[in-house]
Chain A
Amino acid sequence: MSSAKGEASAALAAVERVAEALDAEVAVILRGHELVAAVGYPEHSAPLAELESVAASARDSQITVPGVGMCPATAVPLEYPPGAMLLVARSGGGGLSRTEQSLLRAMARATSMTMRVQRLLEEERANREIAERLANEHAALRQVATLVAELAPGDEIFAAVAEQAARLHGAGSASVVRFEPDGSARIAGSWGPMPPVGARVDLSGEGLTTAVRRSGEPVRVDAYEGRAGPVMELVREFGIHSSVGAPISVERRMWGIIAIFAHGSGSLPADSEQTLMSFGELIATAISNAQARVELRRVADEQGALRRVATLVAGGASPPETFSAVAAEVARLFDAEIALVLRFEADGSATVVGARSEPGNEVRLGTELVVAGVGVVVSVRRTERPARSERFDGPAGSVAGYLQRLGARCGVGAPITVGGHLWGAVVAATRRPEALPADSESRVGEFTELVGTAIAKTELRAELNASRARLVVAGDEARRRIERDLHDGVQQRLLALTLALRNAADIVPGDLTDLAQQLSRIVDGLNDVFEELRELSRGVHPAILSQGGLVPALKSLARRSAVPVELELGTVERLAPPVEVAAYHAVSEALVDVARHSGASLVRVKLAVEDATLRLTVHDDGGADPTRGSGLAGLADRVEALGGTIAVSSPEGKGTAIVLELPVEPISGLPTAQVPQPGSGGPSPRVGEQGSSATGSANGEEGSWP
């Protein structure tokens, strides 16, 4: 064990002072086999063995003093350092006097104390240095940790960490090197004289990076002499003298290394490997935190997008609205240049029902594309499962061809299933070089589930509406039939019987006046029955409506109204029977209502057909009455079933207005009854295309609804 510097110089000063005070030729401090300090011998020539034996004997004896010969010697122990002896030798005479011996012992004590103080001082200084260095290291690591917490991993954070590492270790430069998926290594960030960010780090030679990567441990290179390869060019170019590197492992995978370099004559502290290792761990934490954050944000984005679409669907959005929202959300979520919602047709093609595309490469709604070639949609259609493709190759007019022309490099897609059957697909594609994340296709699948739900809901609603409308129509038909049966059957028969009775009355002999009178009364009674029957028949179904349409029928209602009616009917073509019946009953009920409740002096009835919608307004100038419109309640179901609305408003002092709106072609699939409908030859738009967007050319008749 070597004595500390201060202790050694204190020992030397002590032996010099002792030799001087006692006029001795030699003064030595010995400790075991170690010569702590000595005067009186040429350097490195003290007879250690002889001195040791004198010290060990602890008696006065003779030693050889250079240039003098044998001299008496005296040794006294030192209290410090433990086991040390102070030994003096003086020529002539018989050794030290008693006084001199006392002096020697006193000086030995003083020396002990001096050396001990020196030792303590030195220890204190060393401890302070260690504390300071630890504090620096801690501060540096804390600073890195802060960077890590605040910054996304990128050049900035890597450069900052490199700087901290270099400064802490007194290194001339530092760098963070990242191992790329292709097996190469590149500078991710650096400080000091180093190749620029992004520069490749050669791994072919025996450089630091290679060594760290191979061992997975910190590595120190103190001597580059004798090494070969391109590493040496760098070493020479930047004047690197020595280096230390430590691995950065992210989730058990070697992500890269962090290295510090000493340039010129500088050196790196002995324990650099350990602190650098801590830096590496911090960087690893930063990277995995950032990855977690990205993942978290991705999940949040996706949940947000799904929630928005789900809210739309739950709110009863039409399929075209849902399609367009899904296309937009999917494109946004994957940052894809194009997203399509496609409906598969029975003929093997696919119709674009929702799209998000770049300006200049728009795809129009309603476009029919072939499903052929190589691409996502082909796979989805074949497997009915989510699919991915990094190659698009298809003929003109095909989905794959379209994506190929756009330069798509990666695409994902998932099937839309409705009621257990493949209905269509959602596909997203990008032309960026990096592939879409591995689970993208299944994430698209979550959207297609919503699309499927929206379609199923709409189909269900359409079916429900159609079935309600069919009920209404069937009811109308039944009433019309009853009216006809009454007219052609009962009324005719009644008239015939009345006539027969009249004929019979004519041939009653003149003297049977009672009988003649009785027959006459029966005829009168039958006439009354006939009248009642006619009113009943009109209530069941107004014949004038099916024969003449709304205009004469409403005129007839107006003539019979108890409150004067002004009609504004314009020219109204014949409409579908359920529409005519609904409008007729609305006016009929409204007029009854007005007569009963309002005290109105005038009712205005306005009828117009615009934009394939019948609009009927019945507005009176009567007073408000909370029970107004109650007669129309029964009509509301019919109107709703036909896809229309009926509203009653009764603002204070403004009378009551009843507004009925009905689509002229109420519900697809309804029989168009006996009345020929001008321009209503084709089927109505199917559910999927109702209200297709302005850009969409989806015309209702193309394609089928599988």
Chain B
Amino acid sequence: MNGNLETRRWRVILAEDDVLLREGLASLLRGAGVEVVGQAGDASELLHLVERHEPDLVVVDIRMPPTHSTEGLDAARRIRAEHPSIGILVLSAHVEVEHAIDLIAAGERTGYLLKSRVTEVDQLLETLDRIAQGGSVVDPALVQELVEARRKNDPLSELSEREREVLALMAEGRSNAGIARQLWVTEGTVEKHVRSILSKLSLEATSDDHRRVLAVLAFLEAR
């Protein structure tokens, strides 16, 4: 259930103002073989720890003291600017599309996940894994909200059921291989779907997964 421990020799820093939650999360990650090198209760402590430990990954709550608004997001942007190689997972209690797009636009190795996901250990580890490997991750619930938003003259109505599934997985930041695994189809089939989708939505094809996520998110948000 915990997968391959060898691939998770990440050094992680956690930033979360609720001590109990932070400790729980740390314990969970340690149990999965992750090395938690630091825990911060607010953004400045996080930045300090990042400087000191240069971790592989940072898991940060978006809402922290002192104002409990978007401190986590701001800290993520600074870390991204100063340490582009550090992967960043931002946790949010609510789906906030603007925040998610902001974060993903900051660069690859970023993820935006609903906080409640931390109790789904596998999902959390998979997310961290994808970020660590250079991917971008967007919470399925957020993608769902974007895809399900009703529009008059909706371009998405052109898509088949399967194509919509593929589009959602693209928006979640999955690669073609990842999508193929999810849907139990071959990568070739996924490529075919992707081409069809991009053409129907008049989106440019790109081999860069990160740029593809951004383009799809922007399209869904603006549609």
Contacts and interface: CB of A to CB of B under 8 A. Distances in A.
Interface of A: 484, 487-488, 491-493, 495-496, 498-500, 502-503, 506, 523, 526-527, 530-531, 534, 537-538, 543-544, 546-548, 552, 555-556, 558-566, 601-602, 674
Most interface-central of B23, B69, B94, B115 (chain A CB within 10 A): B94
A538 B115 contact: no
Contact of B18 (A493, A544, A546, A601): A493
B63 A499 contact: no
Contacts of A488: 17-18, 63, 68
Contacts of B24: 495-496, 499-500, 503
Contacts of B93: 487, 491, 534, 537, 543
21 contacts: A488-B17, A492-B18, A492-B21, A493-B20, A495-B18, A496-B21, A503-B28, A503-B31, A526-B119, A527-B116, A544-B96, A547-B70, A547-B96, A552-B97, A555-B97, A556-B97, A560-B149, A562-B150, A563-B150, A564-B152, A601-B152
A527 B118 CA distance: 11
Contacts of A498: 119
A555 B121 CA distance: 32
Contacts of B133: none
B208 interface: no
A602 to B, nearest CB: 5
Interface in B37-79: 63, 67-70
B146 interface: yes
A530 B18 contact: no
Contact of A530 (B68, B98, B116, B146): B116
A500 B27 CA distance: 9
B150 A561 contact: yes
Given A493-B21, A531-B116, A544-B94, 9 more contacts: A488-B68, A492-B18, A500-B20, A503-B24, A503-B27, A543-B93, A548-B96, A552-B97, A555-B221
Nearest to A506: B31
Contacts of A547: 69-70, 96
Nearest to A556: B97
Contact of B28 (A502, A538, A560, A602): A502
Contacts of B69: 546-547
Most interface-central of B28, B97, B115, B150 (chain A CB within 10 A): B150
A561 B94 CA distance: 17
Given A558-B149, A563-B150, A534 B94 contact: yes
Interface in B93-135: 93-99, 115-116, 118-119, 121
Contacts of B23: 496
Interchain residue pairs A-B with the least CB separation, the first 9: A499-B24, A559-B149, A492-B18, A496-B20, A496-B21, A564-B152, A564-B150, A498-B119, A552-B98
Contacts, number: 100
Most interface-central of A496, A500, A555 (chain B CB within 10 A): A496
A191 B93 CA distance: 107
Nearest to A543: B94
B149 A499 contact: no
Contact of B118 (A499, A559, A565): A499
B124 to A, nearest CB: 10
Contacts of A526: 119
B152 A559 contact: no
A194 to B, nearest CB: 98
A503 B18 CA distance: 17
B145 interface: yes
Contacts of A531: 116
Contacts of B221: 555
Contacts of A530: 116
Interface in B1-46: 17-18, 20-21, 23-25, 27-28, 31
B44 to A, nearest CB: 18
